[in-house]
């Protein structure tokens, strides 16, 4: 049921976007949500002592990996959405930090399912934020390089 509602929300956001904000949104929402998964994997220990599919993701995330992902996310955010993109990156980082605290208290860490759920939450958050920014800053010209 929650997967259906998540898909419905994403579809509604796509319908509500203006033509101007569609391009940056299609680039930015998957980038920021995947960055959030890397950040969450960096912040949180793996919860299952017996292992699982998510262990490979969490054990491979080092500070160097996080730095590369963060620089990529910042660069793309600035390129396609300027300040709005950076605000959304900061909001995604805050949500990831709160999710990390919650799941460490609740489960003792994260699992692959937690990473997948975080990805869905972040995608919806970024889509909602892009829609909000396109209405708050209607004169901002996205994808204008020069």
pLDDT band with cut points at 50, 70 and 90 for residue 118:
very high
Question: Is pLDDT at 32 greater than 90 in this prediction?
Answer: yes
Most confident option among 19-28, 52-61, 82-91: 82-91
Binned at pLDDT 50, 70 and 90, residue 12 comes out as confident
What contacts 92, CB < 8 A, 6 or more positions away?
Answer: 32, 33, 35, 36, 122, 125, 126
pLDDT of residue 144: 47
For 139, counting Cβ atoms within 10 Å of its Cβ (0-12 exposed, 13-18 middle, 19+ buried), the class is exposed
Q: Residue 124: pLDDT above 50?
A: yes
Residues 6+ apart with CB under 8 A from 59: 46
d(C-alpha 56, C-alpha 62), whole Å = 12
Local structure of 89: helix, strand or coil: helix
Name the least confident of 32-36, 53-57, 81-85, 113-117: 53-57
What's the confidence (pLDDT) of residue 4? 84
For position 138, what pLDDT does the model report?
64
- Determine contact, residues 99/121, Cβ cutoff 8 Å: yes
- Is 145's pLDDT higher than 60? no
d(CA 131, CA 11): 12
pLDDT above 80 (res 66)? yes
């Amino acid at each position: 049921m929650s997967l259906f509602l998540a898909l419905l929300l994403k579809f509604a956001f796509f319908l509500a976007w203006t033509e101007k904000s569609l391009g940056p949104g299609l680039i930015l929402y998957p980038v920021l949500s995947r960055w959030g998964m890397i950040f969450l994997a960096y912040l949180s220990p793996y919860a299952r002592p017996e292992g699982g599919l998510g262990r490979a993701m969490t054990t491979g995330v080092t500070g160097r990996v996080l730095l590369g992902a963060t620089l990529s996310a910042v660069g793309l955010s600035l390129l396609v959405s300027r300040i709005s993109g950076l605000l959304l990156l900061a909001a995604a980082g805050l949500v990831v930090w709160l999710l990390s605290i919650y799941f460490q208290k609740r489960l003792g860490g994260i699992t692959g399912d937690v990473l997948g759920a975080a990805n869905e939450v972040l995608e919806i958050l970024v889509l909602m934020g892009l829609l909000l920014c396109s209405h708050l800053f209607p004169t901002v010209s996205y994808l204008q390089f020069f």
